[in-house]
């Protein structure tokens, strides 16, 4: 019986040791996606300007250009696969350790089918950061399995494939991967992605407008500037959004009711050049730089008011 208990304890300790070793390696990354997660969820930051949103925010807003034109210190916390509500949950998790920024640039993905969902894209990425209570609460509400992911190593480890183990090893040996070098202050470059066109109705749910009200109110309470942005979408893709015109009209009305600026680039000349897009909704490096420069110049006089 004693041997059985001893074997059980060894197995339990080994599980926690292996898991924490993998997590430690992930948190040791000095570049790439896990360095970004380290910054968002664990570090104490005082960035003056923050970019919020999904992968479109992550790949459309170059912090180098924003810093150069606006003379600010910015960071991009756009998260791949993030819905509008989850983007704001990530922002709340960021605030658990960091100061409230002076300026928030919030990219609104008005083209998506559903405003919220109960799934988390590439969820094992978050396993090493569940000590952030705000992040854990947001994730557990969406997916009850996160209770098990947080406390039971033999439940979470099987979900971590070779990519995560490789990233952990790179963290230990300080060896950035191929795509890690595409990141700069949370901004990253996206390569070509295949896509098919199909007419559809985009999200027009109360949760989107409620969350805009929430972040606008939060920014007012902290005397921070909020800029809502509709970044470029390839013109052929915009034509497939059956309620595009009415949705943008509602977003403009919502911005006005909150006394915040909505900057709409969905009809900008960038949207007519397919060579600037990796897919209909994501800009390539050149497109992102052209767009960010336009955005920064448009925001400059607004900051000086």
Q: CATH code at 100?
A: 3.40.50.1110
- Mode of pairing for the β-strands spanning 49-52 and 225-230: unpaired
User: Residue 222 is part of which domain span?
Assistant: 2-303
Q: What is the CA radius of gyration of the chain?
A: 21
- pTM of the predicted structure, to 2 decimals: 0.94
| Tokens 């100061």, residue located | 99
Q: Which residues face 73 on adjacent strands?
A: none
Rounded Cα distance, 257 and 274, in Å: 35
pLDDT of res. 11: 82
| Dihedral angle computed from the Cα positions of residues 26, 28, 33 and 39, in that order, rounded to the nearest 10 degrees | 120
Using an 8 Å Cβ cutoff, are 50 and 101 in contact?
A: yes
Along the chain (305 residues), what's the average pLDDT of each consecutive run of 10 residues?
76 86 96 97 98 97 98 97 94 98 96 79 96 97 95 93 91 90 94 77 88 96 97 94 93 96 97 95 96 97 78
Using an 8 Å Cβ cutoff, are 295 and 229 in contact?
A: yes
Give the SS3 label for residue 143. coil
CA atoms within 13 A on the CB side of 277: 20
What is the count of structural domains for the chain? 1
pLDDT of res. 304: 61
The whole-chain average pLDDT of the chain stands at: 93
pLDDT of res. 305: 58
Of 229, 228, 230, 232, the residue nearest 278 (C-alpha)? 232
User: How buried is residue 176: exposed, middle or buried, by Cβ count under 10 Å (0-12/13-18/19+)?
Assistant: middle
């Amino acid at each position: 019986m004693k041997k059985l208990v001893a074997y059980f304890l060894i197995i339990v300790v080994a599980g926690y040791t292996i898991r924490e070793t993998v997590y430690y390696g992930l948190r040791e990354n000095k570049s790439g996606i896990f360095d970004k997660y380290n910054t968002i969820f664990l570090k104490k930051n005082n960035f003056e300007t923050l970019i919020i949103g999904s992968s479109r925010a992550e790949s459309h807003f170059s912090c180098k250009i924003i810093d150069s034109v606006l003379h600010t210190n910015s960071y991009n916390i756009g998260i791949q696969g993030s819905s509008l509500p989850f983007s704001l949950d990530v922002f709340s998790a960021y605030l658990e350790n960091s100061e409230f920024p002076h300026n928030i640039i919030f990219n609104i993905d008005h083209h998506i089918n559903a405003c919220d969902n109960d799934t988390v894209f590439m969820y094992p990425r978050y396993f090493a950061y569940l000590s952030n209570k705000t992040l854990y609460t947001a994730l557990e509400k969406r997916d009850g399995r996160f209770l098990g992911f947080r406390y039971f190593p033999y439940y979470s480890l099987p979900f971590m494939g070779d990519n995560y183990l490789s990233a952990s090893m790179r963290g230990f040996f300080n060896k950035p991967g191929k795509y890690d070098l595409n990141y700069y202050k949370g901004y990253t470059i996206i390569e070509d992605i295949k896509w098919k066109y199909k007419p559809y109705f985009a999200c027009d749910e109360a949760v989107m407008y409620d969350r805009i009200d929430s972040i606008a109110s939060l920014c007012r309470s902290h005397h921070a500037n909020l800029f809502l942005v509709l970044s470029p979408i390839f013109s052929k893709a915009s034509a497939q959004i059956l309620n595009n015109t009415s949705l943008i009209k509602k977003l403009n009305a919502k911005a006005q009711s909150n006394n915040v600026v909505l900057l709409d680039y969905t009809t900008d000349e960038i949207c007519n050049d397919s060579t600037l897009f990796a897919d209909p909704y994501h800009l390539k490096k050149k497109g992102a730089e052209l767009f960010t420069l336009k955005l920064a110049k448009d925001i400059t006089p607004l900051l000086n008011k």
